Amino acid sequence: MNRIRTSLLSLASVLLIAGATSALAASEADYKAALAAAEAANKQAAGVRNQWTTTAATINAAKKAAEAGDFDKAVASANEAEALAKASIFQATSEKKLWKDMEIR
């Protein structure tokens, strides 16, 4: 009996989680916000003269997914693009000092 109760509880939890996930599906507004953040970070990377080709490619992937109506994928790509842009800014900033470590003296 206990076993059956535990199984029912587990099933209920799984259903609840599934329901919660579908309730969190990304909307067009989420995509637009994520894209704006990615593009702003990439613009900042251009300002420090260190854009990565992969940032632009991932922004394009986000736009394509949004055009196809897949906002989950679009948001994921936009978030990834923002992370890439931020990494390129970090690289440019840290290299301002670190390049000297490589110099032949």
Partner 1 sequence: MRPAIRFASIGLALAALAYAAAPSATAADAVDPVADAKAFKKYFTDKFPKVKLEDFVNGPYSMDEGLHQQWQEKEQFPPYEFSLELGKEMFSKPFKNGKSYGDCFPNKGIGIRQNYPYFDEKEGKVITLELALNRCREANGEPPFSYVKDEMAALTAYMAFTSRGKPFDIKIPNDPRALAAYENGKEYFYTRRGQLNFSCATCHVQSPGERIRAEVLAPALGILNAMPIYRSEWSGMGTTSRRFTSCNSQIRGVPFSPQDDEYRNVEYYLSFVSNGLPISGPGARP
The residues binding partner 1 (CB under 8 A) are: 49-54, 56, 84, 87-88, 91-92, 95, 98-100, 102-105
Nearer to partner 1, 20 or 102 (CB): 102
One-letter amino acid at 3 equals: R
Q: What angle do CA 87, 91, 95 make, to 5 degrees?
A: 170
Tell me the C-alpha to C-alpha distance, in Å, between residue 103 and each of 13, 48, 54, 99, 100: 58, 21, 28, 7, 5
Nearer to partner 1, 16 or 46 (CB): 46
Q: Tell me how far, at minimum, the Cβ of 73 lies from partner 1, in Å.
A: 21
Nearer to partner 1, 79 or 91 (CB): 91
Q: Tell me how far, at minimum, the Cβ of 47 lies from partner 1, in Å.
A: 13
Cβ contact 31:78 at 8 Å: yes
